[in-house]
Amino acid sequence: MWSELIHVVIPVLLVIAALVAILMRDLLASAVALAVMSLLLSLEFYILQAPDVAIAEAGIGACITTAILVIAIKNTRRMEEEA
C-alpha cells in the first residue's frame, strides 16, 4: 500500500515543484524550486529502480545546475520583468 501511495505522491509533488519554478516572479526562488524538483526526480528514479540515474540526477541537477543558475542570477537581475 505504501509503495503505491509513494508512486502517486512523488509525481504530484514533482509537478507542483515544476509549476512553482515556472510561476515564481523571484528567479532565485525559482532556481530553488528547480533544485527541489531535481531532488524529487532523483527520488522518483530511485523508486523506479534506476539508482545510477538517481545518483547522476542528484549530483548534476540538484547541485551543479543550481550553482550555475544562482551565479547567473547574481550577475543579472533577480526579479522577472514584464515582457
Residues making contact with another protein (CB under 8 A): 51-52, 54-56, 59-60, 63-64, 67-68, 70-72, 74-75, 78
Cell of 68: 550555475
Cα 65 from Cα 44, distance rounded (Å): 19
Confirm if 31 and 69 have CB atoms less than 8 A apart.
yes
At closest approach, how far in Å is the CB of 10 from another protein?
19
Q: Give the closest residue to 30 by CA, choosing from 22, 39, 38.
A: 22
Identity of the residue, 2 or 74, whose beta carbon is nearer to another protein in the bound complex: 74
At closest approach, how far in Å is the CB of 60 from another protein?
5
At closest approach, how far in Å is the CB of 19 from another protein?
26
- How many helices (DSSP H) and strands (DSSP E) are in the chain? 4, 0
Identity of the residue, 47 or 72, whose beta carbon is nearer to another protein in the bound complex: 72
Identity of the residue, 6 or 68, whose beta carbon is nearer to another protein in the bound complex: 68
